[in-house]
Amino acid sequence: MAERCAVIGVGQTHHKAKRDDISIAGMVREAAKMALTDADLTWSDIDAVVIGKAPDMFEGSMMPELYLAPALGAVGKPMLRVHTAGSVGGSTSIVAAHLISSGIHQRVLTVAYEKQSDSDAMWALSVPQPFAAPLLAGAGGYFAPHIRAYMRRSGAPEHIGRMVAVKDRLNAIRNPYAHLHLPDIDMKTVEESMMLWDPLRYLEACPSSDGAAAMVLAAEDSVSGSYPPAWIHGMAMRSEPTQFAGRDQVNPQAGRDCSADVYAQAGITNPRAEIDVAEVYVPFSWYEPMWLENLGFCDLGDGWKLTEAGATAFDGDIPWNTSGGVLSSNPIGASGMLRFLEVAMQVRGQAGEHQIDGVSRALGQAYGGGSQFFSMWVLGSDKP
Amino acid sequence: MSAAANADRSVRRPVSIASFAQSDNVRRENERNEVEMLQPVVAEVFANIGIDKDDIHFICSGSTDYLIGGPFSFVTALDAVGVWPPRAESHVEMDGAWALYEAWVLLQEGEIDTALVYSFGRSSPGNLQEILALQLDPYYLAPLWPDPVSLAALQARALLDAGKATEEDFAAIASRSRKDALGNPKAQVSNDISTEALMKDDYVVSPLRRHALPPITDGAAAIVLAAGDKAREWSDNPVWITGFDHRIETHSLGARDLTSSPSTAKAGEVAGVADGAVDVAELHAPYAHQEIILKEALGLGDGVRINPSGGALAANPMMSAGLIRIGEAAARIAAGEAGRAVAHATSGPCLQQNLVCVLEGGE
Amino acid sequence: MAGETTTEELGPVTTLATPIRLDFEFTPGIALSGFLRGLEQGKFIGQRCPKCGKVYVPSRGSCPTDGVPTTEEVELGNAGTVTTYCVVNVPFAGQSIEIPYICAQVLLDKANISFMGLIQEIPTDEIRMGMRVEAVWVDPSELTPTLASVKYFRPNGEPDADYDTYKEYL
Amino acid sequence: MPEGEALHASHVLEYPYSRSVGPVIGAFMTGLRDGKLTGVRGAGGSVIVPPTEYDPTTGDDTGEMVEVGPGGVVESWAWVSDPLPKHPLDKPFAWALIRLDGADTALLHAVDAGGPDQIATGDRVTVRFRPVAERIGSMADIDAFVPEGGAS
């Protein structure tokens, strides 16, 4: 039987386009020390360290966990390095949690980061290789056609994407750690922003950020810190092939299976009713309605209606991305963990200005690659 | 399983190495890409025990993007398995031995019973001496491009200076490894050559001569783990993992005692190496002198058969060489040549990170 | 020695330039080479999975859903259907085409997988899902084993494909 | 397609990474540019060279910067008779772990010793900086270490 596991400490950096004041080690330590302080622990209290990040080419440092081991107090301890593309921050949290739920460790520090400004995100994500297809579209160009496919399937009107862009940025104003703070954003400024990959406009796309996230996870008899623990009620990862005949990239099976698994573990049958807040990987505005459907918050084709009705707004019945989401901060390797971390903050009641009242259950989701890698967890204030 | 191991780790769920496969280890796999290199290995690891991908509950792989100079090589590698319907799957940017550890952790919870672990790497497309320099501190070390052979040579020198070994010892290890590799059809370097003859090799970086270095290898490997009823269903004589741990040291070579491996010693202690007699040890010692350090750290006496496969001196496929040690050690038990074996994997410069897996036959 | 003067003049060091260059010999592998050599001859060559029968163009050597080698070569025609698309309006490093332009997922007839192609000879606001297109190849003397051999796709004048015929490829 | 027919091409992975260094590495690099070697004091009082924001063993924060060197002792060395193209020197040299005077940990750099018989563990070496005009605040500001007394 799996042991109970809880988040007992969270930490993150101030995310910025360029953290030019700090080294990579300094940046991950900023998040890790904050998480330790939150848990009222020191380096020596930690049994193992699990670190995640996206491609090593971002920073030009191969398997950087080797260099970062002493910076994260990992000397003499087990250390694992996870890489599952954009979902990595979520997968890293889950790998760390299993070290506890398996009964092997009592307290695990997990960290994820990306220092994208050391190079260039567009370059690092699509390093040109011989014989490869000419670089036609860039990062957003991969996703824009799927967004169009979603619009066609669901009949969603064009302004839905803009609503998400505005909502998440207004949420970010409440979050002092968010990269983008755009207090003047509204539907009009989004509509007037540059069209990048039609139908996707500049303000509907995520930024490129430097940043790190960290959490301390603990077994039931090792819980510490002043905020209450956020208990893991369910967690899962799912992958499907990148490309295959008949693949549904708008509503990927791996995402549906992953959420079904997590809900089953958490005993959730009606996600919209039973989940108080969700933090979901939405790097392009339209992924909110797409994931609303994929995560079973509504029937197929109805995701955009929830967004339009304000259900996912800060004062809606199922607030999504109270932190400002990936649309407001995107250190790729850490982006998934920031989703997992935000729901821990919500459950623990430590989210300050972006706290939703009375959160007892929350869903964190991350996805990566071409929507083929998924990781999710459900946290709750009650012991599972 | 020994009583002592049981007493110490009574909460641990027995997990077996149900199947192991590896590609030929070659200097240059110049035709097939990663998927094409890996696919037959995955097919073989299933065929060995008559299962297919639908019997697998969890998949974990180990690889690194830098070997071929393009991001996300692990993503396309999944095509070698065919992850449809979608699977619980994860990837470590580490040797496959750590992927196996992650899978073993998951199996401890008892929710699932089987896992596929694989790793792959082609070192031949690039210049490994330069690529591995990028594993070093990106501010103080990598800009100087210290190559892994030079760093290993610093460690070998420290060992010689400490009076813990001689250059002849390095050659003797290479001689024994190559001779043993004659019995390993997957080995890349194998011959019957004496220590004296090897001592005539030139230095590559003094004090390391050619024979003390690992070959540059392209290859892939896979293991299927099974627990519970599946373990017995897939084997009449399961090989059990009875102890498993890994530890990392500081990165700064100048803050370490390079002549010892406290991380290996600690991992060995937690894994319970000393809880019973060890018949065979498969040690991931890419450089000959590192075997001496590892033997000491694990407290392995002269009666222990070291690297009957020929070890990493006979084939050192990046990201798989550690996983292969576990597969080879399990194979010795499955073949009835050993009752209890230790497998070890390493990563990073001068044995910075080490993993120890104890394997036992019997019920 | 320069002493403090240097720092006073230049300020403290805040960044470090660490240029990295690595050289590789790259191979796309055997199956993909077959596809690329086809391009060099002005042909689309795919491979069929022996298990599910789906045709992958290109194939990377293993059926992504079955995990078995794709071995049977299948030559495909020039015509296909736009399953979905976007209009690229953003300049980025490595871009070789004047913006705005259309990027579309093109599903070649008889293939079971689409790939991204450039659509030309049509105003960007006239592109639509289901449009029938054909490959325009570069001059035979310029054919190479890369997708650059396909200059672009253009409308082939056939009526739009029915949504049901390509909806599984979205 | 039969074996032996895969295509091949050269592939260059190249990027001019630019790293922010932060205060501790920055102080060391600034020192190099000024012709000085610096370390940082760890929580237990030991002096760590090259300096990091953290103690290399405990992970604890480090403290004040202290000047070390310019001389030190070779703790281990390896002789490179055929330098690789990216190595810091283009003639035969030794990589060495050098514990600088005043330091408790060793620094890795090249020693321009002349020949393998000119260097041994325990030897004293001293830093040789590049000319002021060539120094930019990087490890390459150290041209190499040389045997104390100037053997080569």
- pTM for the complete prediction? 0.96
Q: Please give the structure tokens belonging to residue C110.
A: 């008889």
| DSSP conformation class of B215 | P
Whole-number Å distance between alpha carbons of C137 and B362? 65
- The pLDDT score that the predictor gives to residue B7 is 37
Percentage, residues of chain A above pLDDT 90: 90
pLDDT category, D90, cuts 50, 70, 90? very high
B 23-82: CB under 8 A from A: 59, 64-66, 69-72, 74-76, 78-79, 82
Percentage, residues of chain B above pLDDT 90: 94
The answer on pLDDT for B68 being more than 50 is yes
Which one of C21, C55, C74, C90 makes the best mutation probe of the A interface by having the most chain A beta carbons within 10 Å? Answer: C90
For residue D17, which amino acid is it?
Y
For B335-356, the three-class secondary structure string (H helix, E strand, C coil) is CCCCCEEEEEEEECCCCCEEEE
- The pLDDT score that the predictor gives to residue D1 is 42
- The closest alpha carbon to A84, from C67, B77, B135, D14, belongs to B77
The angle subtended at Cα A334 by Cα A331 and Cα A335, nearest 5°, is 70
Residue C64 has phi, psi (to 5 degrees) of -65, -25
Closest chain B residue to A64, measured at CA: B135
Q: Please give the structure tokens belonging to residue B285.
A: 């010692």
Whole-number Å distance between alpha carbons of B188 and B183? 11
Contact A91 B90 (CB under 8 A): yes
> Are the CB atoms for B342 and B329 separated by under 8 Å?
yes
The angle subtended at Cα A62 by Cα A57 and Cα A67, nearest 5°, is 125
Q: Please give the structure tokens belonging to residue C3.
A: 């002493």
**For residues D74-93, average pLDDT:** 98
- The pLDDT score that the predictor gives to residue C76 is 97
Q: Please give the structure tokens belonging to residue B257.
A: 């005692």
**For residues A268-288, average pLDDT:** 98
The answer on pLDDT for C165 being more than 80 is yes
Residue B60 has phi, psi (to 5 degrees) of -140, 135
Contact B253 D25 (CB under 8 A): no
Task: Quickly list DSSP for A31-78.
Answer: HHHHHHHHHT--GGG--EEEEE-S-GGGTT-SSTHHHHTGGGT-TTS-
- The pLDDT score that the predictor gives to residue C3 is 47
Whole-number Å distance between alpha carbons of B322 and B98? 9
Of D16, D34, D138, Cβ closest to residue C7: D34
- The pLDDT score that the predictor gives to residue C1 is 43
Contact C26 A130 (CB under 8 A): yes
Contact D17 C19 (CB under 8 A): yes
Taking the CA atoms of residue B87, residue B88, residue B94 and residue B97 in that order, the dihedral angle to the nearest 10 degrees is -90
Of A68, A80, A261, Cβ closest to residue B92: A80
Contact B36 C22 (CB under 8 A): no
Whole-number Å distance between alpha carbons of B167 and A377? 54
Which residues of chain B are within 8 Å of residue C68 when distances are taken between CB atoms? 39, 43, 82
Which residues of chain A are within 8 Å of residue B353 when distances are taken between CB atoms? 66, 69, 79
Of B33, B66, B127, Cβ closest to residue C27: B33
- The pLDDT score that the predictor gives to residue A229 is 98
Is the Cβ of C146 closer than 8 Å to some Cβ of chain A? Answer: yes
Contact C16 D137 (CB under 8 A): yes
C 108-127: CB under 8 A from D: none
Is the Cβ of A165 closer than 8 Å to some Cβ of chain B? Answer: no
pLDDT category, A87, cuts 50, 70, 90? very high
For A304-332, the three-class secondary structure string (H helix, E strand, C coil) is HHHHHCCCCCCCCCCCECCCCCCCCCCCH
Contact A81 B262 (CB under 8 A): no
- Low-confidence winner among A124-133, A142-151, A253-262, D26-35 (lowest mean pLDDT): A124-133
Query: To the nearest whole number, what is the mean pLDDT of chain C?
Result: 91
For residue A74, which amino acid is it?
A
Percentage, residues of chain C above pLDDT 70: 95
The answer on pLDDT for A317 being more than 80 is yes
Contact A135 C96 (CB under 8 A): yes
pLDDT by residue (tens digit) across A340-366? Answer: 999 999 999 999 999 999 999 999 999
Contact A241 B78 (CB under 8 A): yes
**For residues C80-99, average pLDDT:** 84
Contact B153 D78 (CB under 8 A): yes
- The pLDDT score that the predictor gives to residue B44 is 98
Which residues of chain B are within 8 Å of residue D139 when distances are taken between CB atoms? 139-141, 143-144
B 211-250: CB under 8 A from A: 245-250
Residue C4 has phi, psi (to 5 degrees) of -65, -25
Whole-number Å distance between alpha carbons of A159 and D115? 73
Which residues of chain A are within 8 Å of residue D105 when distances are taken between CB atoms? none
Helix axes B321-334, B96-108, angle to 10 degrees: 60
Which residues of chain C are within 8 Å of residue B75 when distances are taken between CB atoms? none
Place of tokens 């290995």: B41
For residue B276, which amino acid is it?
G
Helix axes A88-101, B96-108, angle to 10 degrees: 50
Of D1, D26, D129, Cβ closest to residue C33: D1
The answer on pLDDT for B8 being more than 60 is no
Contact A242 B101 (CB under 8 A): no
Of D1, D26, D136, Cβ closest to residue C12: D26
C 42-101: CB under 8 A from A: 52, 54-56, 63-65, 83-90, 92-97, 100
Whole-number Å distance between alpha carbons of A293 and A284? 16
pLDDT by residue (tens digit) across B91-131? Answer: 999 999 999 999 999 999 999 999 999 999 999 999 999 99
- The pLDDT score that the predictor gives to residue A143 is 86
The answer on pLDDT for B175 being more than 50 is yes
- The pLDDT score that the predictor gives to residue B338 is 97
- The pLDDT score that the predictor gives to residue B9 is 43
**Half-sphere exposure in the Cβ direction for D96 (13 Å, CA):** 28
Query: To the nearest whole number, what is the mean pLDDT of chain D?
Result: 95
Whole-number Å distance between alpha carbons of A90 and D25? 31
| DSSP conformation class of D98 | E
Q: Please give the structure tokens belonging to residue B33.
A: 């890409």
- The closest alpha carbon to A110, from A77, A157, A151, belongs to A77
pLDDT by residue (tens digit) across D115-151? Answer: 999 999 999 999 999 999 999 999 999 999 999 986 4
**DSSP H helices in D1-152:** 22-33
Which residues of chain A are within 8 Å of residue C104 when distances are taken between CB atoms? 145
The answer on pLDDT for A174 being more than 50 is yes
Contact B252 D21 (CB under 8 A): no
Which one of C22, C23, C62, C66 makes the best mutation probe of the B interface by having the most chain B beta carbons within 10 Å? Answer: C62
Contact D1 C30 (CB under 8 A): yes
The answer on pLDDT for B232 being more than 70 is yes
> Are the CB atoms for C155 and C126 separated by under 8 Å?
no
The answer on pLDDT for B2 being more than 60 is no
Residues 6+ apart with CB under 8 A from D22: A21, A22, A23, A25, A26, D53
Which residues of chain C are within 8 Å of residue D20 when distances are taken between CB atoms? 14-15
The Cα of B142 is separated from the nearest Cα of chain C by a number of Å equal to 9
- The pLDDT score that the predictor gives to residue B10 is 43
Contact B207 D95 (CB under 8 A): no
The Cα of C70 is separated from the nearest Cα of chain D by a number of Å equal to 11
Which residues of chain D are within 8 Å of residue B156 when distances are taken between CB atoms? 78
Which residues of chain C are within 8 Å of residue A152 when distances are taken between CB atoms? 84, 129, 170
Taking the CA atoms of residue C142, residue C143, residue C144 and residue C150 in that order, the dihedral angle to the nearest 10 degrees is 110
- The pLDDT score that the predictor gives to residue B6 is 35
Task: Quickly list DSSP for B62-76.
Answer: E--GGGTT-TTHHHH
- The pLDDT score that the predictor gives to residue C6 is 62
Residues 6+ apart with CB under 8 A from B236: none
Of A102, A124, A236, Cβ closest to residue B105: A102
Is the Cβ of D6 closer than 8 Å to some Cβ of chain A? Answer: no
Which residues of chain D are within 8 Å of residue B35 when distances are taken between CB atoms? none
Contact C27 B36 (CB under 8 A): no
The answer on pLDDT for C99 being more than 90 is no
**Half-sphere exposure in the Cβ direction for A22 (13 Å, CA):** 21
- The pLDDT score that the predictor gives to residue C97 is 82
Of B30, B147, B250, Cβ closest to residue D56: B250
pLDDT category, B73, cuts 50, 70, 90? confident
User: Which run of H or of E encompasses B281?
Assistant: strand B280-282
Closest chain A residue to D59, measured at CA: A73
Contact A239 B94 (CB under 8 A): no
- The pLDDT score that the predictor gives to residue C130 is 96
**DSSP H helices in chain C:** 4-10, 30-40, 163-166
Where are any strands of DSSP class E within chain C? Answer: 15-26, 44-48, 55-56, 72-76, 79-88, 101-108, 115-119, 132-137, 150-155
3-state SS assignment for residue A210: strand
Which one of A14, A22, A29 makes the best mutation probe of the D interface by having the most chain D beta carbons within 10 Å? Answer: A22
**For residues B250-271, average pLDDT:** 97
B 132-151: CB under 8 A from C: 134, 138-139, 142-143
